[in-house]
């Protein structure tokens, strides 16, 4: 039996998918349970929501930590970790692009903990994680764990001293068996056993300064690696839209929209999947029961002619609209 979920329920579901804290997730789940249509077709979904709510309520509330957590839970379309030297402008980027409030100051070592925030881009959002700086004087040991867990690295350097910032960050990460590589590049043929290679964008801040364009040109000539580079300025709001686009491309994800039979597609809350994902992958991201009961799907968009009936193994493309039948 189809669930026939209401717009109010879908809004509550979107609230849950965007929740970051335990309390926000509990509030969203409770709202979903209040507004979900009560009939046989939603029995399993209601049970799943109650189970998730029960698990969250059993979790102990986080108290003042004696040490910092080595993991930042992933949220949104992808987790982007910001790596760079002191005063590179990482906190200013996070403050400009998200609703987070990292401390921004002209003196070094301002950031002392991992500070996440959600960066909107079109109809999705990336999770940015501001980290303490990496420098020869000191690096918080847990910083390397957060870098390992991220989906993408922004190597952030200031146009004032960019080359030193790049070289020091690369060297310190390599000491911990973490190799940064240009986003989209294959793992190097001479990859070292046991190393973890992270896709990376080079983000150069301070591009509103006098002579910045010439300094950037000189930097690109001096760099040994051809990094995908995004020059930005939070002061003049330069390059921020391009940074969102290159981040979306570098995460290698696509947006897939869904619709119910006989209704218009929901073009406001896409599912984000890895490129190359199938109808079956989409169904699993919606709910296990949907995946288990999937019969076929109809697709509108680049991967099929409008309304084409496809099977579970059909490979989806960016912007497809999918109608699941289960």
For the sheet with 321-325, list strands across it. Answer: 266-274, 253-259, 321-325, 296-301, 304-310
Q: What is the rounded average pLDDT of the residues 72-91?
A: 93
Task: Specify whether 48 is located in the same domain as 108.
Answer: no
Please state which of the ranges 92-106, 109-123, 128-142, 297-311 shows the lowest mean pLDDT: 92-106
CA angle 9, 21, 93 (to 5 degrees): 105
Q: Give the pLDDT band (50/70/90) at residue 3.
A: low
Q: Is the pLDDT of residue 193 over 80?
A: yes
Residue 295 pLDDT: 93
Task: Specify whether 47 is located in the same domain as 173.
Answer: no
For the record, the structure tokens of 49 come out as 């929501």
Q: Give the pLDDT band (50/70/90) at residue 48.
A: confident
Q: What is the rounded average pLDDT of the residues 55-75?
A: 66
Task: Specify whether 138 is located in the same domain as 154.
Answer: yes
In a domain, 213, yes or no: yes
Task: Specify whether 300 is located in the same domain as 188.
Answer: no
Task: Specify whether 242 is located in the same domain as 265.
Answer: no
Task: Specify whether 186 is located in the same domain as 135.
Answer: yes
Task: Specify whether 100 is located in the same domain as 134.
Answer: yes
Q: What is the CATH number of the domain that holds 45?
A: 1.20.58
Q: What is the rounded average pLDDT of the residues 62-77?
A: 65
In a domain, 98, yes or no: yes
Q: Is the pLDDT of residue 270 over 60?
A: yes
Residue 31 pLDDT: 85
pLDDT tens column, 159-188: 998 999 999 999 999 999 999 999 999 888
Q: What is the rounded average pLDDT of the residues 110-114?
A: 68
Residues 6+ apart with CB under 8 A from 66: none
In a domain, 71, yes or no: no
Residue 62 pLDDT: 54
Output the average pLDDT for the chain. Answer: 88
Q: Is the pLDDT of residue 67 over 50?
A: no
Residues 6+ apart with CB under 8 A from 36: 5, 9, 42, 45, 46, 49
Count up the domains in the chain and report the number. Answer: 3
Residue 323 pLDDT: 95
Task: Specify whether 93 is located in the same domain as 212.
Answer: yes
Q: Is the pLDDT of residue 277 over 60?
A: yes
Q: Give the pLDDT band (50/70/90) at residue 68.
A: very low
Residue 197 pLDDT: 94
Task: Specify whether 34 is located in the same domain as 84.
Answer: no
pTM for this model (two decimals):
0.75
Q: Give the pLDDT band (50/70/90) at residue 66.
A: very low
pLDDT tens column, 202-233: 999 999 999 999 999 999 999 999 999 999 99
Contact assessment for residue 58 and residue 50, using Cβ atoms and an 8 Å cutoff: no
DSSP string for 142-169 = THHHHHHH-SEEEEEEETTSHHHHHHHH
Q: Is the pLDDT of residue 37 over 90?
A: no
Q: What is the CATH number of the domain that holds 174?
A: 3.40.50.300
Residue 2 pLDDT: 53
Residue 24 pLDDT: 77
Q: What is the rounded average pLDDT of the residues 239-249?
A: 96
Residue 97 pLDDT: 94
197 against 70, higher pLDDT = 197
Residue 20 structural domain: 1-63
């Amino acid at each position: 039996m189809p669930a026939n979920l209401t717009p109010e329920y879908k809004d509550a579901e979107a609230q849950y998918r965007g929740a970051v804290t335990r309390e926000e997730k509990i509030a969203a789940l409770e709202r979903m349970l209040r507004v979900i249509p009560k009939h046989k077709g939603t029995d399993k979904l209601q049970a799943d929501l109650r189970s998730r709510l029960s698990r969250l309520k059993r979790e102990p509330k986080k108290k003042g930590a004696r040490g910092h957590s080595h993991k930042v839970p992933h949220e949104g379309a992808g987790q982007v970790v910001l790596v760079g030297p002191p005063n590179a402008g990482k906190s200013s980027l996070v403050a400009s692009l998200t609703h987070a409030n990292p401390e921004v100051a002209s003196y070094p070592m301002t950031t002392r903990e991992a500070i996440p925030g959600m960066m909107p881009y079109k109809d999705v959002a990336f999770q940015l994680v501001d980290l303490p700086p990496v420098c020869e004087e000191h690096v918080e040991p847990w910083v390397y764990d957060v870098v390992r867990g991220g989906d993408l690295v922004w190597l952030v350097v200031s146009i004032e001293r960019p080359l030193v910032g790049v070289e020091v960050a690369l060297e310190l990460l390599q000491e911990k068996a973490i190799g940064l590589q240009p986003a989209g590049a294959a793992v190097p043929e001479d990859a070292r056993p046991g190393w973890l290679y992270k896709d990376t964008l080079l983000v150069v801040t301070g591009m509103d300064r006098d002579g910045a364009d010439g300094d950037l040109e000189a930097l690109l000539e001096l760099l040994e690696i051809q990094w995908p580079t995004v020059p930005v300025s939070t002061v003049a709001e330069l390059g921020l839209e391009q940074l969102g686009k290159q981040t979306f491309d570098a995460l290698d994800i696509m947006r897939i929209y869904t619709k119910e039979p006989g209704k218009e597609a929901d073009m406001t809350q896409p599912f984000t999947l890895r490129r190359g994902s199938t109808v079956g992958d989409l169904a699993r991201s919606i709910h296990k029961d949907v995946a288990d009961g999937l019969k076929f799907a109809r697709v509108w968009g680049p991967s099929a002619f409008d309304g084409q009936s496809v099977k579970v193994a059909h490979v989806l493309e960016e912007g497809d609209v999918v109608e699941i039948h289960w």
